Amino acid sequence: MIQPAIKARGRNYLHIIYGIDYLQPENLARLKQRNVSRKQRHALMEFALGIEGVKRFVDKEPISRVHECVLATLALEAEPVDPRL
């Protein structure tokens, strides 16, 4: 299975996320080296869970079986809580 889509962001958005100086060569080189495999793996799992949920719904499985896929997707999207809070 391949990742179905990627998000494209504009410069204004990237300035907000990475800082106004993200285009400086040393910062840009660091950002390009980031490991995005975990995000890609999550995107694939979310996509697969969505497909599985639709399949279960179409196959008229019990709604609890469909909800398993929905809840698993939500769990993947949940951000970890900062322990300092």
pLDDT for the residue 2 = 76
Interval 4-12 mean pLDDT: 82
Q: Tell which wins on pLDDT, 63 or 27.
A: 63
Tokens 């993947």 — which residue? 76
Q: Which of 48, 36, 50, 32 is nearest to 7 (CA)?
A: 36
pLDDT for the residue 38 = 78
Residue 60 pLDDT level (bands cut at 50, 70, 90): very high
pLDDT for the residue 83 = 38
What global pTM score does this model have? 0.67
Q: Which of 23, 25, 24 is nearest to 12 (CA)?
A: 23
pLDDT for the residue 79 = 62
Q: Are 76 and 42 in contact (CB under 8 A)?
A: yes
